[in-house]
Structure 1
Amino acid sequence: MARSSGNVHVLLAMLVPLCAATAWTAAAAAAAAGPLLPLPDLQTTTRTMNENDTTTGSLSADFHALSCPDLHGIVRSAVQAARGQDVQVTAGLLRIFFHDCFPQGCDASLLVDKTDPGSEQNVEPQNKGLNQRALQLIESIRDTVHKRCGERSVSCADILAVATSHAVNLAGGPFINMQLGHFDSVGPAQPWQVQTLPAPNADVTTLLNTFAANGKGFDNPIEVVALSGAHTVGKARCSSFSDRTIRPNPNDNFAKELAQFCGGDGNRQRNLDEITPDSFDNSYFLDLIRRKGVLTSDQGLANDGRTGWIVNVFANDQGNFFEKFAQAMEKMSRLTSPGGVKARRNCLKRDAGVNLQTTVVAAGSGDDEGLAASA
C-alpha cells in the first residue's frame, strides 16, 4: 500500500455529522424509489479559520508554478517508475497522505522515520505496515526537486500531495487538483492525535462522528463513501479484519472465506478490491453490494441506510465516483498544520536544531523563501 501498504484503513472512514441525517434520509428514500441521479458537487470552498479549524485560505493548486515549474513532471516521472517496480505504491501513497493529514494537517509529520523516538510510524495499529517504498519515494523526489528548483523550494507535504494525485491518475483514476503551499512540521504529531484515526472495525456512526468531531469541515456523507473508495487499490492485513475471522458469523459466507484465507496468520494480506485490485476504478463498490467488503468499516457503508444509497450510486456510475473522490481529496489537501518550516532538508528526518514550540510560519507566495522564524 513488491511490499504492501498493509492495513490500509487509511481513508476509510470519512466524515459526516449526524445533524444532516434527516435531509440525507430523504435523499436515500428518493434514490431507492427512482433512478440513480448524479450526486451534487461537494462544497470545497475554504471556511473562515477558528481555533478548532485546520483549513486555510493560503493554499493554491499553482503555488509552485513560478518557483518550481517542473514540479509535476518530476513527480509524475518518479511515481510512474516506482509503480513499475511496485504497483502497490499507489495505495501506499494514499494511506500515507491520509494518515499524515488527518491528525494535525498535511505537514509531512508522518514521514519522520521510525528511528526518531517520537515517530508517528511507531504508533500502532494506526500506522502499522506503512509502505516503505512509498515513504522512500517522497524523499527521493524531494532530493530531485530541491536540486532542480532550489533547497527548501517545495515542502515534503506538497510533494506527498502531488505524488498521491499522480499515483491515482496513473492507476486509472482522476487527477486530483491538490492544494499546495503547505509547510513541513519540524517533528511528529503527538500519539493522541494519531490515535484519532478511525479503526478498520469502526461502525458507520463512529466513522461519521469521528470526522465530524475534529473540526475539519467534512460534513457530507458523500465524502465518507467517496474517500472509502481509495480501497479500490491496496491490501489489508488479516489482523485488520480479525473481528470477522476469529469467530465468523455462520450466516456470513464471505467472513468464512476470509477466515479460511487468513488461517490464523494476522500478517497475511488480502486485496481490498476483489475484482481489479491494481486499478483505480469503482469495482470496490460492486464488491460492497455483493457483500464482499473486506473491512468491517467498508461493508458497513453498504449496509447502513445513511450511506448505502451512495454506495449504489458509485457502483453504477464510475464518473460520479471519480468526481466526488477528487473533490473530497482536494478538500483534504486544504488541511494545514499551525506551524513548521517551509521545507525540511530531509523528508524522513527532523531538521537539526529546530524546536516545534519556537517555530512560527507565515503563509506567503510560492516564490519567496518564507522560512520559519524562530522566536
Structure 2
Amino acid sequence: MAFHNFLLLSLIAAYASAATDGKLSPNYYSSTCPKALSIIQAGVAAAIKKETRMGASLLRLHFHDCFVNGCDASVLLDDNATFIGEKTAAPNNNSIRGFNVIDDIKAKVEKACPGVVSCADVVALAARDSAVYLGGPFWNVGLGRRDSLTASRALANISIPPPTSNLSALITSFSAQGLSFKDLVALSGSHTIGLARCTSFRGHIYNDSNIDPSYAKSLQRICPRSGKDNVLAPLDLRTPTRFDNLYYKNLLERKGLLHSDQELFNGNSADSLVRRYESNPSKFFRDFASAMVKMSNIKPLTGRQGEVRKNCRKVN
C-alpha cells in the first residue's frame, strides 16, 4: 500500500512538473476531458459546412493569437470600459473572424467539462482541424495552454506582418517569434485557402510590376483604386476552398494575391523553396505541419500561469 501511494504521488508530481515546465502534451485532456477533441472537431466541421471560408478564418485566428505574446487566447478578449484588447488593432480590425464559432465550441466543451479546457487550446485545435477538414495535413497539437489575463493592442499592431510586407520584413517578423525562413515560406502556404479584402491587395494590383498583367486587370475590375474596400478575392485563385500546394504554383505564375505573397517568389532566396513546394506537395505538407507545431508552441502559459477562461471573450 505504501509503495502504491508513493507511485501515485510520483505520477502526480511528474504530471505537475510537466504542466509547469512549459511542455505541452497531445494527451493533456485524455483523463480530465476525454471528449474535448471530438467536440472541437465536430464544431469545426459544422462551421465549415455552413461557410467554407471559416476554415481559413480559424487557421488565421491561431496565427494572429500566437504572434502577440504567444498562443494564449489574448486575441479573443473583447474591449470593455477599462480595457482595450487586440481585436481593434490594425491587422485585426474588420479582418479576423470566427469568434462566434470559438464561442459555440467553447460552450459545448464547458458543458462536457466545466473549467478544464482553455480557449487557447480550443483555438489551436480548431486551426488544425480546419486544415485537415479542407484536405490539409494532420499534426499532433500539444495541449495544456492556459489563457492570458490581458492583451496588447500595441504589440498586435507591430507583431503581425501586414500584407504590404517585403521579404526582409517578413523574415524579421517570423524570426522574432523563433520561426525559421523555411517556416515562413511553409506557413505562407496557408494562403491556399481563404479570402482577402480589396484593401489588402489594392497596392499590389495597381503599383507592383511583379504580377501577371491579366491577373492584375481581373482584380482591378472588382477592386477600384478607391472604395469597395471590403470586396473579397480568393488568396488562391485555383482552389480557394481546398488545402493543397497550388498557392505556390500561383506564385510561379506571378498570381499571388498579396504583395507579401508574391515577395516569396521575386528573384530572391525564397524562390527555391517555392519551387520545391510547388513540385512536391508532400514536402509542403510535412514542412507546414512541422511549422504549425513550432508556431503553436510560442510562449504558452502553463501550470499556474494565466487561467482557464469560462467565456473566451473575458477573464473570469
For residues 224 and 57 of structure 1, what CA distance do their matches in structure 2 show? 24
Provide Cα deviations, 1:152-185, integer angstroms capped at 9, x if missing partner. Answer: 1010000111111111100011112122111101
Q: Is the 8 A contact 1:238 1:268 kept in 2?
A: yes
Question: Counting helix residues as a fraction of each chain, which structure ranks higher?
Answer: 2
2:265 is the counterpart of 1:302: yes
SS in structure 1 at match of 2:286:
helix
Aligned pairs for 1:183-332 within 5 A? 183-212=146-175, 214=176, 216-219=177-180, 221-247=181-207, 249=209, 252-253=212-213, 254-263=215-224, 264=226, 265-332=228-295
Q: Is the 8 A contact 2:79 2:85 kept in 1?
A: yes
For residues 234 and 60 of structure 1, what CA distance do their matches in structure 2 show? 29
TM-superposed CA distance for 1:190, in Å, is 3.9
Provide Cα deviations, 1:243-301, integer angstroms capped at 9, x if missing partner. Answer: 22344649850333322231232211110001000011111111111110010110110
User: Which of 114-123 and 264-273 deviates more?
Assistant: 114-123
Give the match for residue 69 of structure 2. Answer: 104
Give the match for residue 350 of structure 1. Answer: 315
Aligned pairs for 1:14-163 within 5 A? 57-115=22-80, 117-124=83-90, 126-132=91-97, 134-149=98-113, 151-163=114-126
Count matched residues. Answer: 290
SS in structure 2 at match of 1:303:
coil
SS in structure 1 at match of 2:24:
coil
1:193 to 1:129, Cα distance in 2 relative to 1, 3 A? closer
For residues 86 and 119 of structure 1, what CA distance do their matches in structure 2 show? 27
For residues 77 and 250 of structure 1, what CA distance do their matches in structure 2 show? 42
SS in structure 1 at match of 2:233:
strand
TM-superposed CA distance for 1:94, in Å, is 1.1
SS in structure 2 at match of 1:236:
strand
Q: Is the 8 A contact 2:164 2:260 kept in 1?
A: yes
For residues 251 and 331 of structure 1, what CA distance do their matches in structure 2 show? 32
TM-superposed CA distance for 1:93, in Å, is 0.6
Q: Is the 8 A contact 1:185 1:337 kept in 2?
A: no
Partner amino acid for 2:262? Q
Partner amino acid for 1:345? K
Partner amino acid for 1:120? E
Residue identity (%): 36
Which ranges in structure 1 are unaligned for 5 or more consecutive residues? 1-55, 352-375
Q: CA RMSD in A?
A: 1.9
TM-score where L is the length of structure 2: 0.86
1:304 to 1:207, Cα distance in 2 relative to 1, 3 A? farther
TM-score where L is the length of structure 1: 0.73
For residues 259 and 239 of structure 1, what CA distance do their matches in structure 2 show? 12
For residues 160 and 78 of structure 1, what CA distance do their matches in structure 2 show? 12
TM-superposed CA distance for 1:67, in Å, is 0.9
Which ranges in structure 2 are unaligned for 5 or more consecutive residues? 1-20
For residues 173 and 281 of structure 1, what CA distance do their matches in structure 2 show? 6
